[in-house]
Amino acid sequence: MAVPAVNHPCWIHLAEGALKHLRSNHLGTQLMTKRLERSSAPVHEKAAQIRAFFERWEMVLPDEVSQLTSL
């Protein structure tokens, strides 16, 4: 499964808090999730960071990518 398009609503949904429901054993994903949970950045900025992370790590995180639109 490919990373959803930049305009997909899942990114905003994840940035608003759904990211904490992502199941992952990948340390980098866990660290990114905690960092963004504590961040006071605007939702659109968080969404862009989440998408950039998954775009970069798409091949390493196929299970996590497959969860993005269903959280």
- Evaluate whether 53 touches 3 at the Cβ level (below 8 Å): no
Q: Tell me the per-residue pLDDT of 25-47, one tens digit each, with 9 for 90 and over.
A: 999 999 999 999 999 999 999 99
Instruction: Please state, in angstroms and rounded to a whole number, the distance separating the CA atoms of residues 52 and 37.
Output: 16
| Domain positions in the chain | 10-70
Percentage of the chain exceeding pLDDT 70: 100
Helix, strand or coil for residue 48? helix
Q: What is the pLDDT of residue 1?
A: 79
| pLDDT, mean of residues 37-63 | 97
- Evaluate whether 29 touches 64 at the Cβ level (below 8 Å): yes
| Confidence band, pLDDT 50/70/90 cuts, at residue 22 | very high
